[in-house]
Chains A and B, each alone.
Chain A
Amino acid sequence: MATPAAVFYSPLVVDHFDHPRSVGRLNDADDVVAAEAGSRALGTQFHLSARVVGDRLSSVHFEAYGCPHCVAAGSWLTQRLKDSTAEDLQRWSWREVAEALEVPAEKRGHLLILEDAVRRLAEAWQRRV
């Protein structure tokens, strides 16, 4: 069998992986926006859905196919994006979650896909306005 290199999982990654927050997706509705990025074939895929109240997100849900860091990052993001504006989403960088979850350098490419999903969520929101 292949001998996998030891992968570092920070306590926060373990917590979010074992107890992910806001898993699932919100049903389509006038006040719901959604976006996805990545693909299963490439090993990482995210789906984000969020409810908009006024100019802010009131709740965010995620689905993730990917490594433990991806699952944890999706979960962490649902908490982080609460109360965000569309501009916040446009500015959001993968570096924030990489730092918070202490994601190892070799895993950071996966977080770019999460950033893509966030950007697309912002675009979907702006199209709706």
Chain B
Amino acid sequence: MSELPVYLDNAATTPVDPRVAESMIECLRGVHGNPASAGHDFGRRARALVEKARAQVAETVGARPESIVWTSGATESDNLAVMGAARFYADRGRHIVSAKTEHKAVLDALKQLEREGFSVTYLKPGPGGIVQPGQVAEALRPDTVLVSIMHVNNETGVVNDIGAIGKVCRERNVLFHCDAAQSVGRVPVDVMAMNIDLLSLNAHKVYGPKGTGALYVRRVPPVGLRPVLFGGGQEGGFRSGTLATHQIVGMGVAFELAKAEMEKDMERLRDLRDRLWQGLSAVGDVDVNGDRDQRVSNILNVTFLGVEGESLQFALRRLAVSAGAACSSASEESSYVLRSLGRTDQEAQSSLRFSLGRFTTDADIDIAITEVQREVPRLRQIARRA
């Protein structure tokens, strides 16, 4: 196939906004100092850019600039938050509350903590995929030191009521970490109003560069963390390593744009998503995964009943979308998120995530609808009664 497929995988990563790219190129061409080199102008210029970006990111999530710690992305932020906080407060208790539908960056960090003697309660959301604040409250124990619940689920796009969960945690004096990798630019995020103590962020799902992210760490009163990276003591000792100035500059611009353009972006994407759903549902025997109302505007996860998963993906190869799984032996595992919502393995494998973004066009949606309306009935015909 010579033509590139239509890109509907913005929940995996977004293209870099040209305005972000410009800011990064300018930085790469003109600023080479190490932001930690306070003794000369090269370093001070780089530091000034890093601090400007820190303020931009902080402003987007309602935080103070000094509470933003730069990382390499949301995976590192999740690891630092979950393992860092649990280890720091281990003498207070060794119990953590999270959910089965969290990202692997949280789940695998929790597994590591379990090997270290922590115990974890994994909440099972209802059929809509939402973790109820009441479930969190019920799961808290006297020895609970941390709750980690994501804001927007990366597979289904459902939105947890983070404000309500944050309130429960604050009332019970338990630290609250939230993975907001899919949130910025899609739904409002406010660490103060939502009582969030630790918030994981990344740039590459917000039209910024890959390889950079941030962790919001509440400073008043201060949250303690054991670092996971050791070295030069940058970022207040939370995260050693020379800062990637150009990446950070890009993240700052990306976040500023995300906040400024969120309403406009989301209104347009809601219309496109609704039109996409109308087109997809016309083939019959399709289901949306996750709550119909409490969701972001750009993600649509659909199960196509009666169609085998890998054939579905291959038949729709003109669309760049994410699939539940492949049927090759190496990865014959269906989505744990969809299974936790009650989908069978077969149904989970026959599900596709369509995720729209700032650069998705009307024409892209037309192509997606045309492809699905041709291929899904064709595959069902081949499998008719087999």
Interface of A with B (CB < 8 Å)?
Answer: 1-5, 7, 9, 17, 20, 23-25, 36, 40-41, 43, 45-47, 62-68, 70-71, 104, 106-107, 109
Q: At the interface, yes or no: B12 with Cβ under 8 Å from chain A?
A: yes
Looking at B23-31, B40-48, B331-339, the stretch in contact with chain A turns out to be B331-339
Looking at B130-138, B211-219, B306-314, B356-364, the stretch in contact with chain A turns out to be B306-314
Q: At the interface, yes or no: B381 with Cβ under 8 Å from chain A?
A: yes
Give the shortest distance, in Å, between B13 (CB) and chain A (any CB).
Answer: 12
- Whether A1 contacts B328 in the complex (CB less than 8 A), given A24-B384, A63-B382, A66-B308, comes out as no
Give the shortest distance, in Å, between A28 (CB) and chain B (any CB).
Answer: 13
Task: Report yes or no: B335 in contact with A2, Cβ–Cβ below 8 A.
Answer: yes
Query: What A residues does B193 contact at CB under 8 A?
Result: none
**Most chain A C-beta atoms within 10 Å of own C-beta, residue among B308, B335, B349:** B308
Task: Report yes or no: A68 in contact with B310, Cβ–Cβ below 8 A.
Answer: yes
The residue in chain B whose Cβ has the minimal distance to the Cβ of A65 is B383
List 13 A-B pairs, Cβ < 8 Å.
A1-B12, A1-B324, A2-B333, A5-B326, A23-B382, A43-B308, A64-B386, A65-B383, A71-B382, A104-B328, A107-B328, A107-B329, A109-B329
Q: Which of B154, B311, B315, B333 contacts A66 (CB 8 A)?
A: B311
Residues of B within 8 A of A (CB-CB), count: 32
Query: What B residues does A46 contact at CB under 8 A?
Result: 386
**Most chain A C-beta atoms within 10 Å of own C-beta, residue among B314, B326, B335:** B314
Give the shortest distance, in Å, between B196 (CB) and chain A (any CB).
Answer: 25
Query: What A residues does B315 contact at CB under 8 A?
Result: 17, 68
The residue in chain A whose Cβ has the minimal distance to the Cβ of B329 is A106
A23 to B349, CA, bound (A): 24
Query: What A residues does B154 contact at CB under 8 A?
Result: 1
Interface of B with A (CB < 8 Å)?
Answer: 12, 154-155, 308, 310-311, 313-315, 322-331, 333-335, 346, 349, 353, 379, 381-386
- Whether A65 contacts B308 in the complex (CB less than 8 A), given A17-B314, A45-B386, comes out as yes
Total A-B residue pairs with C-beta atoms closer than 8 Å? 91
A24 to B349, CA, bound (A): 24
Task: Report yes or no: A43 in contact with B327, Cβ–Cβ below 8 A.
Answer: yes
**Most chain A C-beta atoms within 10 Å of own C-beta, residue among B315, B329, B335, B381:** B329
- Whether A1 contacts B382 in the complex (CB less than 8 A), given A43-B346, A68-B310, A71-B311, comes out as no
Give the shortest distance, in Å, between B191 (CB) and chain A (any CB).
Answer: 27
Query: What A residues does B329 contact at CB under 8 A?
Result: 106-107, 109
Give the shortest distance, in Å, between B100 (CB) and chain A (any CB).
Answer: 15
Q: Which of A4, A62, A68, A106 contacts B323 (CB 8 A)?
A: A4
Query: What B residues does A41 contact at CB under 8 A?
Result: 346
**Most chain B C-beta atoms within 10 Å of own C-beta, residue among A43, A45, A106:** A43
Give the shortest distance, in Å, between A114 (CB) and chain B (any CB).
Answer: 11
A67 to B381, CA, bound (A): 14
Give the shortest distance, in Å, between A2 (CB) and chain B (any CB).
Answer: 4
Give the shortest distance, in Å, between B303 (CB) and chain A (any CB).
Answer: 14
Query: What B residues does A5 contact at CB under 8 A?
Result: 326, 328, 330-331
A52 to B385, CA, bound (A): 22
A-B interface, 8 closest residue pairs, ranked by CB to CB distance from nearest: A4-B326, A63-B386, A65-B383, A106-B329, A1-B322, A67-B310, A47-B386, A2-B325
Query: What B residues does A64 contact at CB under 8 A?
Result: 382-383, 386
Task: Report yes or no: A4 in contact with B331, Cβ–Cβ below 8 A.
Answer: yes
Task: Report yes or no: A1 in contact with B308, Cβ–Cβ below 8 A.
Answer: no
Task: Report yes or no: B155 in contact with A1, Cβ–Cβ below 8 A.
Answer: yes
Query: What A residues does B327 contact at CB under 8 A?
Result: 43, 67
Q: Which of B311, B324, B325, B346 contacts A40 (CB 8 A)?
A: B346
Q: Which of A2, A62, A65, A109 contacts B326 (CB 8 A)?
A: A2
Query: What A residues does B310 contact at CB under 8 A?
Result: 4, 7, 67-68
A66 to B328, CA, bound (A): 12
Query: What A residues does B323 contact at CB under 8 A?
Result: 1-2, 4
Task: Report yes or no: B381 in contact with A47, Cβ–Cβ below 8 A.
Answer: no
13 more A-B residue pairs beyond the given contacts A40-B386, A62-B386, with a C-beta to C-beta distance below 8 A: A5-B326, A5-B330, A7-B328, A25-B384, A40-B346, A45-B386, A65-B383, A66-B311, A67-B308, A67-B327, A70-B311, A106-B329, A106-B330
